[in-house]
Amino acid sequence: MNALPVNLNEILETLTLRGGFNTNAVILGTTLLGIAAGVIGSFALLRKRSLTADALSHATLPGIAGAFLISTSLGYAGRSMPVLMLGAALTGALGVACIHLILHHSRLKEDAAIGIVLSVFFGLGIVLLSVVQTSSSGSGAGLNHYIFGQTAAMTRSDAVLMGTIGVLGSFIALIMLKEFTVVCFNETFARSMGLPVWLIDSIMLGLVVLITVSGLQAVGIILIVAMVIIPPAAARFWTDRLWKLVLISALIGGLSGYAGASISALLPRKPAGAVIVLVAGLIFAISMLFAPARGVLADSSRRIRLKLLIARDHVLESLYEIEIGTPDARHPRASSLLIKFIAARGWITTTNSTLALTDSGRVQGQRIHRNHQLWEQYLVSYADIAPTHVDWSVDQVEHVLTDELIAELEHALSQRGIFIENGIERTTKQGGTP
Amino acid sequence: MIPKLYQMFMILDLFPLLSAIFAALSCGLLGNFLVLRKQSLMGDAISHAVLPGLVGAFLITQSRSPGIMFIGAAISALLTVVLVEVIKRLGKVEPGAAMGVVFSVLFALGVYMLESASARSVDLDADCVLHGNLQTLFWISSPTEWNHFLSANTADEIPRQVWTLLGTTIAVIAFISVFFKELRIASFDAGISTVQGINAGFMHMALMTFVAIAAVASFEAVGSILVIAMLICPAATARMLTDRLGSQILVSAIVALITAIGGYILAAIFEVNAAGMMASFAGVLLVIAIIGSPAHGIIAKARNQRRLGNQVALEDILGSLYRLAETNQSASQEELITALGHTKRTTKALLKAQYDKLIVIMDTHIALTDAGLARGASIIRRHRLWEGYLVDQAGLSPDHVHETAEQLEHLSELPDPNLPDEQTNPTTDPHGKPIPPESS
């Protein structure tokens, strides 16, 4: 096995922020940026703005190259971070404005508007970059690092600026939490409350611009959007509550930033932007598969469990119907595994390969049979007032009836003089006795 | 003997230009269906996500043979399509976010592999992924005599990028012409398509496969950014200019052609990156279409709105004068303008009516000419018919219908013609005023 190019001590020092002042500043700055991106990205996700953010980040390229060209032509040193960031923010915001204009003044849809702004602005940026490369020797050569990002080229003050903007962005988002929440979940309601939706929306997008622009140098134009998209998308698997979403998303963003910047500081030729995104992607994959709230595994196990319960109920119901001699009762068809599963609960016995209900099984079968009849009767008597429910098939609904719903059904049916007891229907019209 | 100028063109520009044209055509044609299906950004996702496939194929085989690179890129392109679907369906993630997650992670993987690999080989360059390497397609041994074109060697000297792109363009044109009907139905309405026995899901995958092929084939020559621009911009431009899918496809092909050639020439003049210039030029063409399209452009819409406003103002003048004439009253110019609102539009409409000999403006009052009287009668007829309709059919109270009828009177249609005759041709309105008869 190849030895790592660094020893264990060095790894520990870097990870615990003892690796040297410059490295520390970059790692800390990237972590703070990741946290801010996670927080602000949560709202972008809920507002379905993920790909608007993508167009925005691509649209910063002509701003960077343009700012460089203008400031060098005015005789200043071109690669001053704040100047480039200002240019990037301007064209980024202009890109978002263009998406808005295309949406409102043409028949083109949002996807096309985003793609147009993304490709045209980026193309313009590449044109300007080629102008930079031919016109100025040397000083402009580093500009294309903004496309893929390069933490190695960052100075301490760059990192401090990035971290400060990260903290500032998160702070603004937390102050505006209530307004953002309302606009994200119910725009109409926000309007009716007299909230300036347009302004709140603009602040939200402004924060995305801020994060994008400050992360350009470390992560790069193409991948910075991943820091806004992936953490909230991953966090969404863990929770349904907004404040938890923001919190988890911030954690994932911070972790990705921290891991990406440290790994790229430790190993040569590992671009920080790519590593950050890969770490975030890994967390996303784990969340999607294993998160208990909305993860794929939890989801499918819940579905399988429900299917099993329904199959079990059908067996018990059929056996009960055979016992009481319902005319169209049929012998249940069930796999031997299912039979064993039910027998393990002590609800059926299998002697000489014939199935029989135990006492406790009979209670269960009776309950399911009764639910079935309740619902069936309800549909027959109340079909006109239950139009939203009639397409629920009886066989499916009987398994999901809750106790409250059953009580409600019984009440509704008794109003029409129908009583179902122990699975045998009787109406008051027939004298009240079965 | 071929003149020197042509010779230079063939050495430096012929192959880059051909590559650009073929890339623009194949992407531009397919883009029509992406724009139609609101899946423009799938092209964006695919063209970012082919990177790890390209690098992976190179790293595994250590060769830059086009076939292997192509297979690698195609695999990761299809992987993108599948992953986006899986995350969307299984994870219930919003489509935009699902796309963003997949393509950024795959692109990051590609950048990571590229940077790790470039320690060993400097052959692959991340920047060239974005804007291609059109400039390197020289024809060093370009023919000096015209008849050299016919020799067998010439075909061998054409770079494979040009051949690949030519093949792709032909395949795309064939795919669209053969499956035009299926693509159209599946794109407009997946439900109807299924009813007609066309598998919409299959058509979706077929389209995505072709997008992937076109993206991969164009990638090396023109770079991913132009692929995205060409997948969306020509189709969007054509969408602004036409209403039928068939003509939209045709127009988009022409726009793609103009974009490629125009962008290339501009890049040559200003000595800037050609792929970037073509993407920018595509944007310029689109902006022109959005502003100036005869049917759907901003100017046309504004002009229509102004024309409609002028017509409404004119009709309001004639209607008011007719009402006055009914009761043998009259109004002076000032009185009429005050009644209708003192706007530039009213004044202009008054002059227009005078110019069209609908009214005669006199010192004490304004008189309607015969033509003006007839126009006024037909407007008041429409107004009062609508009032009757709103009361009888919509059940509104008679004192609430005037404002609505005031707007409806400017429509060219009359109330529902399917009503029985006594209801379509009443003689009085709900307020008891006579309805002027239909003018012959």
Q: Where do the structural domains in chain B lie, given as residue ranges? A: 22-136+160-222, 305-368, 378-440
- In three-state secondary structure terms, B151 is coil
What six digits make up the tokens of A163?
Answer: 């971290």
A336 touches chain B (CB under 8 A): no
Q: Per the CB < 8 Å rule, is A284 touching B105?
A: yes
CB-based burial, A151-187: b 16+ in 10 Å, e otherwise? beebeeebbebbbebbeebbebbeebeebbbbbbeee
What is the full DSSP assignment across A120-135?
Answer: HHHHHHHHHHHHHHHH
Say whether pLDDT at A429 is over 50. no
Tell me the pLDDT tens digit for each residue of B37-49: 888 888 888 888 8
Mean pLDDT of B407-427: 70
Q: Which of residues 143-202 of A touch B (CB under 8 A)?
A: 144, 147-148
Q: Which of residues 69-88 of B touch A (CB under 8 A)?
A: 87
- Residue B164 has what pLDDT? 85
Q: Per the CB < 8 Å rule, is A115 touching B231?
A: yes
Cα(B80)–Cα(B48) distance, rounded to whole angstroms?
10
- Taking CA–CA distances from A133, the nearest residue in chain B reads B272
- Round the average pLDDT of chain A to a whole number and report it: 83
Q: How confident is the model at residue B266 (pLDDT cuts 50, 70, 90)?
A: very high
The residues facing A419 across adjacent strands are A426
Q: Which has the higher per-residue pLDDT, B382 or A168?
A: A168
Tell me the pLDDT tens digit for each residue of B100-122: 999 999 989 988 888 777 655 54
Q: How confident is the model at residue B392 (pLDDT cuts 50, 70, 90)?
A: confident
- Residue B258 has what pLDDT? 96
**What is the percent of chain B where pLDDT is above 70?**
89
Say whether pLDDT at B300 is over 50. yes
Count of all residues that appear for chain A in the document: 434
**What is the percent of chain A where pLDDT is above 90?**
33
- Considering CB atoms only, which of B87, B130, B275 is closest to A147? B130
What is the full DSSP assignment across B298-341?
Answer: HHHHHHHHHHHHHHHHHHHHHHHHHHHHHTT----HHHHHHHH-
Q: Per the CB < 8 Å rule, is B87 touching A288?
A: yes
- Residue A434 has what pLDDT? 36
- Tell me if A126 sits within 8 A of B131, measured CB to CB: yes
Mean pLDDT of A315-320: 85
Fold of B378-440: Diphtheria Toxin Repressor; domain 2 (1.10.60)
Say whether pLDDT at A1 is over 80. no
Highest mean pLDDT among A99-103, A134-138, B45-49, B328-332: A99-103
Tell me the pLDDT tens digit for each residue of A69-120: 888 888 776 667 788 889 999 999 999 999 999 999 888 999 999 999 999 9
Q: How confident is the model at residue A141 (pLDDT cuts 50, 70, 90)?
A: low
Say whether pLDDT at A351 is over 70. yes
- Residue B141 has what pLDDT? 67
What is the full DSSP assignment across A309-355?
Answer: HHHHHHHHHHHHHHHHT-TT--PPP--HHHHHHHHHTTSEEEETTEE
- Among B83, B89, B104, B278, most A C-beta atoms within 10 A, so best to mutate, is B104
Q: Per the CB < 8 Å rule, is B282 touching A50?
A: no
Q: Which of A6-15, A366-375, B164-173, B342-351 has the lowest mean pLDDT?
A: A6-15
Q: Residue B77 phi/psi, 5° resolution? A: -65, -45
Say whether pLDDT at B384 is over 80. yes
- Round the average pLDDT of chain B to a whole number and report it: 84
Mean pLDDT of B336-359: 84
Mean pLDDT of A417-434: 53
Count of all residues that appear for chain B in the document: 440
- Residue A2 has what pLDDT? 47
Torsion of CA B333, B336, B341, B344, to 10 degrees: -30
Say whether pLDDT at A385 is over 60. no
What is the full DSSP assignment across A207-271?
Answer: HHHHHHHHHHHHH-HHHHHHHHHHHHHHHTTT-SSHHHHHHHHHHHHHHHHHHHHHHHHHSTT--
Q: Which of A200-204, A236-240, B127-131, B385-389 has the lowest mean pLDDT?
A: B127-131
Q: Which of A3-17, A126-140, B160-174, B245-259 has the lowest mean pLDDT?
A: A3-17
- Among B48, B130, B240, B288, most A C-beta atoms within 10 A, so best to mutate, is B130
Q: Per the CB < 8 Å rule, is A115 touching B43?
A: yes
Say whether pLDDT at A139 is over 80. no
First to last CA, chain A: 83
Chain A residues near residue B131 by CB distance under 8 angstroms: 126
In chain A, CATH 1.10.10.10 sits at 295-434
Fold of B305-368: Arc Repressor Mutant, subunit A (1.10.10)
Q: How confident is the model at residue A232 (pLDDT cuts 50, 70, 90)?
A: very high
- Residue A238 has what pLDDT? 93
Determine the angle formed by the axes of helices A272-290 and A197-219, rounding to 10 degrees.
120
Tell me the pLDDT tens digit for each residue of A268-302: 777 888 899 999 999 999 999 999 888 899 989 99
Q: Per the CB < 8 Å rule, is A270 touching B105?
A: no
Taking the CA of residue B111 and the nearest CA in chain A, the distance in Å comes to 6
In CATH terms, B22-136+160-222 corresponds, of 3.40.50.1000, 3.40.50.300, 1.10.357.10, 1.10.3470.10, to 1.10.3470.10
- Considering CB atoms only, which of A126, A223, A294 is closest to B225? A126
B122 touches chain A (CB under 8 A): no
B288 touches chain A (CB under 8 A): no
Cα(B235)–Cα(B334) distance, rounded to whole angstroms?
53
B94 touches chain A (CB under 8 A): yes
- Compute CA A381 distance to the chain's CA centroid, rounded to the nearest angstrom: 43
Q: Per the CB < 8 Å rule, is B298 touching A126?
A: no
Judge if B305-368 and B378-440 fold alike in CATH terms: no
Q: Which has the higher per-residue pLDDT, B72 or B420?
A: B72
In chain A, CATH 1.10.3470.10 sits at 8-294
Q: Classify domain A295-434 by CATH architecture.
A: Orthogonal Bundle (1.10)
Say whether pLDDT at B346 is over 80. yes
Say whether pLDDT at B221 is over 70. yes
**What is the percent of chain B where pLDDT is above 90?**
24
Q: Per the CB < 8 Å rule, is A108 touching B239?
A: yes
First to last CA, chain B: 77
Q: Classify domain A8-294 by CATH architecture.
A: Orthogonal Bundle (1.10)
B363 touches chain A (CB under 8 A): no
- Residue A431 has what pLDDT? 40
**Number of residue pairs across A and B with CB atoms under 8 Å?**
204
The residues facing A357 across adjacent strands are A348
Q: How confident is the model at residue B192 (pLDDT cuts 50, 70, 90)?
A: confident
Q: Which of residues 168-197 of B touch A (CB under 8 A)?
A: none
Taking the CA of residue A297 and the nearest CA in chain B, the distance in Å comes to 10
ipTM score here? 0.83
As to burial, measured by CB atoms within 10 angstroms (0-12 exposed, 13-18 middle, 19+ buried), residue A433 is: exposed
- Residue B75 has what pLDDT? 87
Q: How confident is the model at residue A405 (pLDDT cuts 50, 70, 90)?
A: confident
Taking the CA of residue B136 and the nearest CA in chain A, the distance in Å comes to 15
Q: How confident is the model at residue A421 (pLDDT cuts 50, 70, 90)?
A: low
B151 touches chain A (CB under 8 A): no
Q: How confident is the model at residue A358 (pLDDT cuts 50, 70, 90)?
A: confident
- Among A46, A57, A100, A120, most B C-beta atoms within 10 A, so best to mutate, is A120
Q: Per the CB < 8 Å rule, is B99 touching A284?
A: no
Q: Which of residues 240-269 of A touch B (CB under 8 A)?
A: 268-269
Neighbours of A138 (CB within 10 A): 6
Mean pLDDT of B249-261: 96
Mean pLDDT of A403-427: 70
